[in-house]
Structure 1
Amino acid sequence: MTDTRLRPYDPDRDPRDLWDLKRAFELGLGSGTGGDDKRAVYEEKLTEAYGERYLDWVFWCTKHDPRCVTVAEVTDGEGITDDSQSNTDDSRETENKSEDGSDPALAGYVFVLPQQLAMIWDAAVLNEVYVRPEYRGTGVADDLMDAAVAVAEDQDLPLDRLVLDVDRENDRAQAFYDRHGFEHWGEMVARKLE
């Protein structure tokens, strides 16, 4: 039986798997919440150099707060990562596999910016939460959100809020955040830089 358990991100063993999740998160943003132009912009940025910069950013953040990135690790039901299934089940869709074709070690992640960056919004910032499609509806996202709230509650913040940016066109995400007590609080606008 495959199960998951939450734990802090490990910069020694998780970077490849986190990058796979981040790519899927970004591709979902680009294709699920906008037209072809938005999808193309998101696809173009997902270069190897961007991946290295992102993982450096994660490393910096976790040095300031090791709990700021929490991962849901795929286990065999006994708390041990299940590597025995790697590349043996041809019926799984390629999109559910890691870039190298192996079964994923991580089912999802949540990233709350460290307290040192709270002044960005004067609140805790939920930077990203993502769960692989095959683990959606299993409670993994709820567990990750609980972990994010716990990290935010431990931060010394100017405002007692956990904030995030969510596209109003993303009905699935909006319903999830509504269920977790998030309310509309302001509006973000953007301008393209030349």
Structure 2
Amino acid sequence: MVRPYRDADAEDLWELKRGFERELGTSTGDDAKAETYEGKLDDDYRTEYLDWVEQCVTEQERAVQVSERDGKLAGYVFVLPESLAYIWDAAVLNEIYVRPEFRGSDVADELMEAALAFAREQSLPLDRLVLDVDQKNERAQRFYERWGFENWGEMVARSV
């Protein structure tokens, strides 16, 4: 079952967010990248992240949606609120994550369906749902391809 995030989900969401960040670090890079992602997961980041989630769901309740299985959160999807659509002139899929023990079930598909439904309701400059996915994340690449996502540019980054 997919439903909107609630304040009572904060600790479970934070646990999922940590899993998301740790996997980004370990599965798409070397030890240095893993250390970078792990290093940011401190109490200040937790507080700021959960505050940002609260701001987004206050603006649009379904910006963050969760999937429940066996009495706990199995995964979540975070689509930025419509007010932030001008970041990429489209709806932005910020994060989608499923606990490893629920992968291969229907959780990811249900979350993607919820994300697409939420995106369709937004008034967008371009009728697209976009996201940033690391080319080394083969599992995610296959998932997005199965859902009809196509390459649409490439992001580059540098330190500030």
The offset of 1:41, in angstroms, is 0.5
CA–CA separation in structure 1 for the residues paired with 2:90 and 2:118: 12
* Alignment match of 1:61 (pick from 56, 60, 64): 56
Unmatched segments (≥5 aa) in structure 1: 76-80, 82-104
What amino acid maps onto 2:11 in structure 1? R
Deviation of 1:129 (Å): 0.1
Query: For the residues of structure 1 that align with 2:79 and 2:66, how far apart are their CA atoms?
Result: 12
Tell me if 1:46 matches 2:46. Answer: no
Q: Which runs of 5+ in 2 are unaligned?
A: none
Structure possessing the higher radius of gyration over alpha carbons: 1
Instruction: Tell me by how many angstroms 1:111 deviates.
Output: 0.3
Structure 2 counterpart of 1:161, from 107, 119, 128 = 128
- Which residue does the alignment assign to 1:29? 24
Deviations 1:105-155 (A, max 9, x none): 100000000001001110000000000000000110000000000000000
User: What pairs up with 1:38-187 in 2 under 5 angstroms?
Assistant: 38-75=33-70, 81=71, 105-187=72-154
Q: Considering only aligned residues, what root-mean-square deviation do their CA atoms show, in Å? A: 0.6
Distance in 2, matches of 1:155 and 1:48, equals 33
How high is the TM-score relative to the length of structure 1?
0.81
3-state DSSP class of the match of 1:158? coil
Q: Paired residues, what number?
A: 160
- Displacement after TM superposition at 1:73 (Å): 1.1
Q: Deviation at 1:74?
A: 1.9
1:8 aligned residue (4, 10, 14): 4
Which stretches of structure 1, 4 residues or more, deviate above 2 A after TM superposition? none
Structure with greater helix percent? 2
CA distance, structure 1, for counterparts of residue 93 and residue 103 of structure 2: 19
Instruction: Give the secondary-structure state (helix, strand or coil) at the position aligned to 2:94.
Output: strand
Q: Provide TM-score, normalisation by structure 2.
A: 0.99
